[in-house]
Structure 1
Amino acid sequence: MAYQLMASLYDQFMEDAPYDNWVEFTKKIIEKYHLKAANVIDLGCGTGEITLKLAKEFNITGVDYSTDMLTIASQKANEENVKVNWIHQDLRELEGLNNFDLAISYCDVINYITTEEDVQEVFLHVSQALNDHGIFIFDVHSIKHVVEDLIGNSFSDVTEDSAYIWTCYPSEIEGEMFHELTFFKSNGNTYERFDESHHQRTFPIKVYQQLLNHAGFEILAFHRDFLLEDDFSEGEAERIFVIAQKRTR
């Protein structure tokens, strides 16, 4: 989950990502649960697109494993004159973070945590970072989406000065997948090629529920695909949103 080489092209190829939907979903959850959200932490913030939008209304900290992503995020914040506290940490080893009212982790960041043991570690660290009754919102791919739409398929995009080819390979383990990405970037009269490999895994929601409960969370709701008012069905979802609240000590 390094993202080192693709950081410079990430925003270009993610320009159609529904960042505004994540922001609006967050605000609706804050309103629905009457949440005090003075301090927010964005876990796996990437180049800061969601972080910066929320920073206009909340005190926010962005955490990411990639220093390259954080460099781009910091440059954007300076250009927009927005104050954000950027932190370089692995979500599995979070430390020194506390007194947050809301933790978010979007765009399938949690899918990069590929063992139950590591997911448990992340949830425990998030719990430690939150105040009592703090809310944790994250999303993951559904098993259905992985099986029907991702594994075994290839995706590509071409722009004026760059292109990518992305192939998603299956695993023998349900919900696990391996992504092979090849990028081409214009360098004058030639193109520079670089490759990246990414590993993701998603679990049935009952697994996330068990791990959250062990970490001191109560599940408030499951939602699918940015929808708040539907009857949730794991079998119909592509992107599953989990809303959990830290229990009092």
Structure 2
Amino acid sequence: MTAAYKEFATVYDELMTDIPYDDYVELLELAIGRLNGKKVLDVGCGTGLLSVKLAQKGAEVTGIDLSNDMLEVARNRAIDSSLSIEFNQLPMQQIAGNPSFDAAVIAIDSLNYVCTEEEVLQTFKGIYSVLKNGGTLLFDVHSTFKMDTIFLEGPFTFDNEKIAYIWETEEGEEAYSVYSELAFFVKEGSGLYRRFDERHTQRTFPVNRYAEMLADVGFHIERIFSDWEDEPPHEESERIFFQVRK
């Protein structure tokens, strides 16, 4: 996976401009109050877009990600913003340590790249271990409807005159999983386009299965809502949010 993200890291920010990261900050503030002075773990932090926004609110942020190329972009972003943020290369399944964080976030379906129940459970256990008593975990995942219906309506295309892609999807081997092949075309200074390819697998689980795994670890579920709204999931919800507390 690390190698797969090497070139993707160079275009990631351009593709994420419509993601409401400010809304994610507000959701975390609603869950734990003012972020100033709070220790927050940003799991699957990517290029640090959310990490920086959290730090600008006064949080003491640590970001982890599997891809060192993504983290290099994140480190430069923090430097450019004159922020002190610790970034570490670490798979989320390997989180472990002493309880020192007030909150953890796994934003923008990063957890869906963890494709077995055992690894999801291990991720929850690791986060539980590093949260203080009363600490909060906030994360979102794709719904089973999105996996089984929306994603399989491809192929999808994108073109903003700087970056273009063709995104083809097919049903994965496991239930509620999708295999994606993306061909990217990035415009160079010469006016010619450079092509690179990405292959990704994502998997989700039903809402009640996530709830069971969280409870097995010891988390208390405070909220389950969908699609950035304070409403419970329904049959055609696309993004499911969980707010849980240690």
TM-score when scaled to structure 2? 0.92
Match of 1:78 in 2: 79
Kindly indicate whether residue 185 of structure 2 is the aligned counterpart of residue 184 of structure 1: yes
Match of 1:19 in 2: 21
Query: Aligned to 2:240, what secondary structure does the other structure show?
Result: strand
Matched AA of 2:235: G
Query: Aligned to 1:151, what secondary structure does the other structure show?
Result: helix
Match of 2:201 in 1: 199
Q: CA deviation at 1:36?
A: 9.4
- Higher deviation after alignment, 93-102 or 137-146: 93-102
Match of 1:140 in 2: 141
Q: CA deviation at 1:221?
A: 1.4
Structure 1: how far apart are the matches of 2:71 and 2:209? 31
Matched AA of 2:198: E
Kindly indicate whether residue 229 of structure 2 is the aligned counterpart of residue 227 of structure 1: yes
Match of 1:53 in 2: 53
Cα 1:144–1:83 shift into 2, 3 Å: same
Contiguous gaps of at least 5 residues in structure 2: none
Q: CA deviation at 1:239?
A: 0.6
Cα 1:108–1:191 shift into 2, 3 Å: same
Conserved in 2, the CA contact under 8 Å of 1:152 and 1:167?
Answer: no
Conserved in 2, the CA contact under 8 Å of 1:145 and 1:238?
Answer: yes
Conserved in 1, the CA contact under 8 Å of 2:35 and 2:54?
Answer: no
Matched AA of 2:63: G
Conserved in 2, the CA contact under 8 Å of 1:112 and 1:199?
Answer: yes
Structure 2: how far apart are the matches of 1:108 and 1:120? 16
Structure 2: how far apart are the matches of 1:53 and 1:12? 17
Kindly indicate whether residue 128 of structure 2 is the aligned counterpart of residue 127 of structure 1: yes
Matched AA of 1:168: T
Query: Aligned to 2:235, what secondary structure does the other structure show?
Result: coil
Structure 1 outlier segments of 4+, above 4 Å: 34-37
Match of 1:215 in 2: 217
Structure 1: how far apart are the matches of 2:48 and 2:32? 20
Conserved in 1, the CA contact under 8 Å of 2:97 and 2:129?
Answer: no
Cα 1:35–1:219 shift into 2, 3 Å: farther
Conserved in 1, the CA contact under 8 Å of 2:165 and 2:182?
Answer: yes
Match of 2:244 in 1: 244
Q: CA deviation at 1:163?
A: 1.4
Structure 2: how far apart are the matches of 1:211 and 1:102? 19
Q: CA deviation at 1:149?
A: 1.3
Cα 1:36–1:102 shift into 2, 3 Å: farther
Identity among equivalent positions (%) equals: 36
Query: Aligned to 1:149, what secondary structure does the other structure show?
Result: helix
- Higher deviation after alignment, 12-21 or 107-116: 12-21
Contiguous gaps of at least 5 residues in structure 1: none
Q: CA deviation at 1:152?
A: 3.8
Structure 2: how far apart are the matches of 1:133 and 1:87? 25
Number of aligned residue pairs: 242
Conserved in 2, the CA contact under 8 Å of 1:30 and 1:36?
Answer: no
Q: CA deviation at 1:216?
A: 1.6
Query: Aligned to 1:180, what secondary structure does the other structure show?
Result: strand
Cα 1:81–1:23 shift into 2, 3 Å: same
Q: CA RMSD in A?
A: 1.9
| Correspondent of 1:7 among 9, 16, 22 | 9
Query: Aligned to 1:219, what secondary structure does the other structure show?
Result: strand
Q: CA deviation at 1:72?
A: 0.4
Q: CA deviation at 1:148?
A: 2.4
